[in-house]
Each structure stands twice: as structure tokens, then as C-alpha cells.
Amino acid sequence: MRTSSRVARRIRSGGLATVTAAVVLSLLGACSTPAPSPTPAAVSEPVVTTPPAAPSDPTPAFAQLEQEFDARLGVYALDPLSRAEVAYRADERFAYASTFKALAAGILLKTVPDEQLDELVSYGADELLPNSPVTEANVNEGMTLRAVAEAAVRFSDNTAGNIVLERLGGPEGFTQALRDLGDTTSSSDRIETDLNSAIPGDTRDTSTPRAFALDLATLLTTDALGAAQQSQLIDWMTGNATGSELIAAGLDAGWSVADKSGAGAYGTRNDIALVWPPSGSPIVLVIMSNRPTEDAEYDNALIARATEAALAGLGY
């Protein structure tokens, strides 16, 4: 369920739970090797509502989904306040595909002054890539850098995604920015659309569900971004035009979602999100998947049903 206006109101009223960066960074430090569920740590925020049911082990459900969809599934869900987590193949590598655009846009908001975000970006028709509806429509006039970032997140515009990457210093610059967030796992090596090749065993343009979830948690639930920048990124993600059949489809009525989807070869289908229950603190959820053959088609239902299992694992 998408409720952009509701989420925006909760942000403006302080309803977005913000944890200390140290909490998320301590989890990022554990990305390189699997670890047992961490002990809940005290944070400065008020105690949140306890989930309404006892958590259940989602591992059998995830394994069943893999068998049913002939897919490999990676899941990481985290309540940043309580540090409760659900992890399944959370430290295995997957091609991240277009999900990177949300993180890249967040880093852009973090590192580029507002006045530069509002400067005009010009590009030529020869630079347009497939699946670039917004940049194509504005090729004659150009777009502000802020509008380019919004197009990359909201519409997964590929040309816009490459412009954002270029502004960050290309794949190398994006990788360094992720390192600066504490992510020692993710690797950005190519631009759109080459980064979607998702060849098994190829570590280029890959991450793990845990690493990308903690990157997202750093940007959206800590003070790594200013309040205005954080609100801007969440607004773009709540307006994502490509994710309605993914994590959003696995949520009960009353929940809200801000997400960024991605797809590639080998049946790659991903979604990264911040989701809000009707009451209580937000949850970071990353689901990644692929299939055995290069021309395999993805099935959005896999992501929706994995969402249900992940949230059940947290007690929802």
C-alpha cells in the first residue's frame, strides 16, 4: 500500500524514527561475515509499539518460495530501533540492478549543495538509453539535477541514473561514497544498462541484501542526511512508479512503503524499501532474487510473498 502524503506528514511531524548513526554503522561492520542476531541496543528514541504477534521462523517459507519459483532469494529485514532482524542468504551477492538509483540519489542529496541541485543539466539525444521516459521527454530543454535524480528514483529512468552516477564520480565514485557510509561490501563497476547483466559469479555491480539494507537504513533512519534531504528522498521513493507489485503488494492495509525496484538478466528482480506499520517504528527491507538461466523471466509474486514471510519473521 502506497501512501505518499501520509509518509510525508509523518516525516514533517517527526514521526520518522531516527536512530544514531553508530547503531547502523555497528551493523554495517558485521556485513562481511554472517553473524547471529544482535542483542537489542539502547537508543535515544522512545520505546516503540511491540509487534502484535510472536515472530515465526521464516526460513522454511523462503526455502519453499525458492523451490516454487525456481529462484535464489536473498532477504534482509531490520528494525533499526530494536535491531530485530530477519536474514536469509543475506550475505550472498546479487546484482543490484536499478535499486542502486535510490542510494545514489540519497548520496547526491547528501553531497551536493541545494543551489547546484537546481542547476540545469543538458544532454543530447545520442545519450538517451532505453527506459528513459523522463529524460527523453525533456531532451530539448534539459532538466535540473534535482529533477534528474527524481526521475532516476521515481521512474527508474536509465539516462537519469547515469547522469547521477557521473555526478558522483562514476561507478568508482559511487563505490567510494558507499565506503564512506560504512559499506565495505557493495561494488559499482559499470553504468546503465551494462550493470544489469547479472552473470552468476560476476561480482561487478553486486551487493548483498544486508549491505544494501544497512546503506538504506543509514540514509533514511539516521542523521546521515539532513531532515529536508531525507524527506525529499522518501518522497521520491513513495512515488516509485515501478514497485506496486513488489514489496508494496505484500503489505497489509494500513502500511506505507517507500521503495526502489530493479530488474536484470537471469530473472533478477529486487526491491529495497522502508516500510511503516500502522503503528511503531519503520522497517528496512531488502529482497533480491535471480534465476538459473540468462533469459529467465522474473515473477513479481516472489517478492510480494517474500515480504509477507519476512514481516511474519519480525512478528507482524
Q: What is the CATH number of the domain that holds 70?
A: 3.40.710.10
What pLDDT shows up at residue 3? Answer: 45
Higher pLDDT, 50 or 214: 214
Q: What confidence tens digit (pLDDT) does each residue in 46-96 have?
A: 334 444 566 789 999 999 999 999 999 999 999 998 999 999 999 999 999
Class of residue 36 by CB neighbours under 10 A (exposed 0-12, middle 13-18, buried 19+): exposed
Closest CA to 5 of 235, 314, 223, 218: 235
Catalytic site includes residue 98: yes
Which residue is catalytic, options 82, 98, 132, 256? 98
Phi, psi of 153, rounded to the nearest 5 degrees: -85, -50
Q: What's the whole-number mean pLDDT along residues 31-37?
A: 39
At 293, the amino acid letter reads: T
* CA-angle at 186, arms to 217 and 85, nearest 5°: 40
* Count of beta carbons in the 10 Å neighbourhood of residue 29: 12
Retrieve residue 116's grid coordinates. 547546484
Q: What's the whole-number mean pLDDT along residues 223-252?
A: 96
DSSP 265-288: TTTEEEEEEEEE-SSS--EEEEEE
Tell me the C-alpha distance between 149 and 143, whole Å.
10
**E strand segments, the chain:** 72-78, 85-88, 94-95, 120-121, 143-144, 206-207, 256-264, 268-276, 283-290
The residue segments making up the domain with residue 221 are 4-313
* Count of beta carbons in the 10 Å neighbourhood of residue 20: 16
Retrieve residue 278's grid coordinates. 500502522
* CA-angle at 102, arms to 16 and 81, nearest 5°: 30
Number of domains in the chain: 1
Give every CB contact of residue 66 below 8 A, 6+ residues apart in sequence: 72, 73
Q: What confidence tens digit (pLDDT) does each residue in 153-170 have?
A: 999 999 999 999 999 999
Residue written as cell 557521473?
Answer: 166
Helix (H, G, I), strand (E, B) or coil at 94: strand
In this structure, what DSSP letter does residue 207 have?
A: E
Q: What's the whole-number mean pLDDT along residues 180-198?
A: 99
Class of residue 124 by CB neighbours under 10 A (exposed 0-12, middle 13-18, buried 19+): exposed
**How crowded is the C-beta side of 266, counted as CA atoms within 13 Å?**
21
